[in-house]
Every structure is written in structure tokens, then in C-alpha cells.
Amino acid sequence: MTLDRAVLVFAGFMVLLSAALAAFVSPLWLWFTVFIGLNMIQSAFTGFCPAARILRRLGFRSGAAF
């Protein structure tokens, strides 16, 4: 799996996790979803993604975007 796909899987998992937490724990968890969305937008413009840096260190091979 390339780094690009790993980042997409991680982001999708985090969105689903925050939605589940908002549904079952507290609606305030939706702020976590907002944070994830904002991070994805800034990553699209700047090319900097904290998750990509971490996943690269874990051994994922580089893809087209990261």
C-alpha cells in the first residue's frame, strides 16, 4: 500500500470514528471531524500532512502526492 492510500484510509477511519463518537458519546466530537476536514484542506494546498510524515516513518512507500 502506498503512502497516499494509507493517508486516505487513515483520514476515512478518523472521520468515521469521530462520527460514531458524536452519535454515541457527545455531539462535541463533531469538532474533531471539523479539525480533520480542515487538515485535509490545508494539506491539499500546502502538501504538508502530519499523518503522512508519521506513516512514512512507519515504512509506507511514497506515492504520487506525498
List the Cα angle 50/59/32 in 5-degree steps: 30
Contact 59, 2 (CB under 8 A): no
Average pLDDT in the chain = 93
**Predicted local distance difference test score (pLDDT) of residue 8:** 93
User: What's the Cα-to-Cα distance from 37 to each of 2, 26, 31, 63, rounded to whole Å?
Assistant: 21, 19, 10, 21
Is residue 32 over pLDDT 90?
yes
CA separation for the pair 6, 47 (Å, rounded)? 15
Q: For 13-26, what is each residue's pLDDT tens digit?
A: 999 999 999 999 99
Q: If you compute the radius of gyration of the chain from its CA atoms, what whole number of angstroms results? A: 13
Is residue 65 over pLDDT 80?
no
Q: Which of 16-19's residues contact partners 24+ apart within 8 Å by CB, and which partners? A: none
